[in-house]
């Protein structure tokens, strides 16, 4: 693409660096912003800047939050004896959309994957174990993708929690969402949460 403005070219390249946005889409977005009044553009850029500067991770569950403790962890109406363990923040959003779960969450930040150099120490597993030991947790739901890495992660966490008197369950398997919770339809994902099954730790 040839641009008569270096500023426009830089803006297009910035948008195109985002996932799922090609240069043509980036150009349409930039031209749209150029056609808006200056107040709109300033509000748009301020929202992104404020998000980047002020959004943090919840000190309890590692969810995104405007404060030290997220709105889910601070909501006393939630079922505080149940923790749903997920890989990413996007999984929380997907599960919340179902309206079928009213417990708390814990974001691991991924799954154990030796091939990618991701071990237990790179994930938020220690803080999960601490919560299980210090809080009145009765059940931990493993809402983790049914992959080899996901199963390895569930097995490892279950071993770490073996001494705790906590029920460990997994979301119902056999549902078709390609291992990605965020792509599951709300009805299917909601049913998989409600139809969760106990996890049996089988050591060799």
Asked if residue 149 and residue 82 are part of one domain, the reply reads yes
Same domain, yes or no: 191 and 127? yes
Whether residues 25 and 74 fall in one domain: no
Whether 76 and 163 map to the same domain: the answer is yes
Predicted confidence (pLDDT) per residue in 41-68, tens digit: 999 999 999 999 999 999 999 999 999 9
Tokens 């405007």 label which residue? 66
User: What are the tens digits of pLDDT across the range 72-121?
Assistant: 999 999 999 999 999 999 999 989 988 889 999 999 999 999 999 999 99
Judge if 50 and 71 occupy the same domain: no
Nearest partner of 107 among 147, 142, 137, judged by Cα: 142
Looking at the structure, do residues 77 and 28 belong to the same domain, yes or no? no
What's the domain count of the chain?
2
pTM for this structure?
0.81
Within-domain flag for 18: yes
The CB-side HSE value for 136 (13 A sphere, CA atoms) comes to 3
Which domain covers residue 10, as residue numbers? 6-54
Q: Which residues pair with 105 in a beta bridge?
A: 84
Asked whether the beta carbons of 160 and 189 are under 8 A apart, the reply is no
> What CATH number does residue 114 fall under?
3.40.1360.10
């Amino acid at each position: 693409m040839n641009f008569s403005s270096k500023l426009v070219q830089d803006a297009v390249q910035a948008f195109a660096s985002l996932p799922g946005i090609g240069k043509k889409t980036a150009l349409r977005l930039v031209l749209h912003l150029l056609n808006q009044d200056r107040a709109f553009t300033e509000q748009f850029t301020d929202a992104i800047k404020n998000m980047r500067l002020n959004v943090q991770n919840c000190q309890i569950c590692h969810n995104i939050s405007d404060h030290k403790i997220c709105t889910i962890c601070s909501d006393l109406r939630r079922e505080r004896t149940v923790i749903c363990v997920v890989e990413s923040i996007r999984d929380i959003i997907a599960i919340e959309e179902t309206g079928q779960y009213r417990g708390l969450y814990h974001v691991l930040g991924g799954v154990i994957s030796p091939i990618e150099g991701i071990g237990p120490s790179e994930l938020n597993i220690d803080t999960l174990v601490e919560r299980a030991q210090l809080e009145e947790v009765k059940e931990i739901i493993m809402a983790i993708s049914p992959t080899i890495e996901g199963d390895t992660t569930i097995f490892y966490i279950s071993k770490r929690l073996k001494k705790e008197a906590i029920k460990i369950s997994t979301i119902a398997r056999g549902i078709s969402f390609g291992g990605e919770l965020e792509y599951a339809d709300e009805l299917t994902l909601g049913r998989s949460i409600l139809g969760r099954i106990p996890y049996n730790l089988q050591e060799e």
